[in-house]
Amino acid sequence: MSVAVESVEGLYPFVLTEDQEALRKEIRQFAAREIAPHVSEWDEKSEFPAAVVKKLGQMGLLGVIFPPEYGGAGMGYVDYVLAIEELSAVDGSVGIIVAAHNSLGTNHIFLAGNEEQKRKYVPKLASGEWLGAWGLTEPGSGSDAGGARTTAVRRGDKWVLNGTKTFITNGSYADTAVVIAVTDKSKGTHGLSAFVVEKGTKGFRPGKKENKLGLRASDTSELIFEDCEIPAENLLGVEGEGFVDSMRVLDGGRISIAALSLGIARGALDAATKYVKERRQFGKAIAEFQGIQWKLADMATELDAARLLTQRAAVLKDSGRTVTRESAMAKLFASEVAVRICNEAVQLFGGYGFIKDYPAEKFYRDVKLCTIGEGTSEIQRMVIARELLKVQPSRG
């Protein structure tokens, strides 16, 4: 049994177990050793860090939230949040690779798949032997999933898929992709179904790789389906319930994007704090100026508040509770706080904040995705309001 100890560096405004503290330190050391020396090169070249991803699989970080009987690490969402934050504080690209693989691509199979499907796919994904992707978004349907045009038509013992998915994390490198397609157009979102498609399947290929503002070492690409035939047993869950299952998947996925936000923001705050202690103007370190101190105080306070919301969602998720509202709140607040923190970090660096030789500009570019991916800030507000109105009816 783990013994509760306080985080030695005071990063977490709650008590971590001894095992969680050890996990945090292990990942931090790994990131410093294996990721930090390559961040600028990967970013500049848009180079996918395949070797590091394999090592993360060996560490159990590609199966954090899955039970040991399926090859997972058997940890919970609190541990998962710690892992994503530590990776993202060094490179958000690595953080989002791990997040999309765990929360989306693998988790949909784990949540909606039958026992045979889980036994077939989850162990390979959890070990890092395979990499997973998840395809919901299309060129003409993002927030409006009901507008999807990718189709799946039943023909005997096969499903035939046609269409294009876009903005798919890990798309070019994934060994499996969970794809949401229209099986009955007349039923709207209740006519969407989920399928698992393996790399190398005839008629399935990655398309255009996106040239992005930030998170450039993560792969974001199209998935293209042209008369792609898959076995009937590759349907995940119940036909017509793919959208419903996707919303369950996103409840957990939004916690991981909140954790991604925390990591990027913390990296920016750490870099800015170090810089203001070293930068001298008017005969003293700029950290001695009250204006600078107040900026740092606001940044640190907002970061801790975001961490508390994120960890609340993680704790509730681990307890088996529905976390639709809590995960949306965490994702909304953490992502928008992170954007503000990274903006202030650039400001604190002054002219050097605009230069690639210094870390602030990359954190600034990377963080914007957090307010967009897995549901924009506007969508999170809609989700939160909808959940509030369910339990707080009008008094009028």
Residues noted as catalytic: 374
CA-atom Rg of the chain in angstroms: 21
Q: Are strands 235-236 and 192-198 parallel, antiparallel or unpaired?
A: antiparallel
Question: What span, in angstroms and rounded, lies between the C-alpha atoms of 279 and 269?
Answer: 15
How far, in Å, are 36, 65, 128, 129, 284 from residue 58 at the CA level? Answer: 19, 15, 7, 9, 47
Partners of 159 in the beta sheet?
A: 154, 230
Nearest to 20 by CA among 79, 72, 97, 65: 79
The residue to which tokens 């949306």 are assigned: 328
C-beta of residue 62 within 8 angstroms of C-beta of residue 295:
no
* DSSP codes, 248-276: HHHHHHHHHHHHHHHHHHHHHHHHHHHHH
C-beta of residue 152 within 8 angstroms of C-beta of residue 159:
yes
Dihedral over Cα of 172, 175, 178, 182: its sign: positive
DSSP-derived 3-state class of residue 179: strand
Nearest to 266 by CA among 298, 305, 311, 300: 300
C-beta of residue 102 within 8 angstroms of C-beta of residue 113:
no
The residue to which tokens 């009955």 are assigned: 184
DSSP structure class, residue 113: -
C-beta of residue 328 within 8 angstroms of C-beta of residue 385:
no
Partners of 176 in the beta sheet?
A: 132, 198
For 333, the token pair is 């607040």
For Cα atoms 51, 83, 356, give the angle at the middle one, nearest 5 degrees: 65
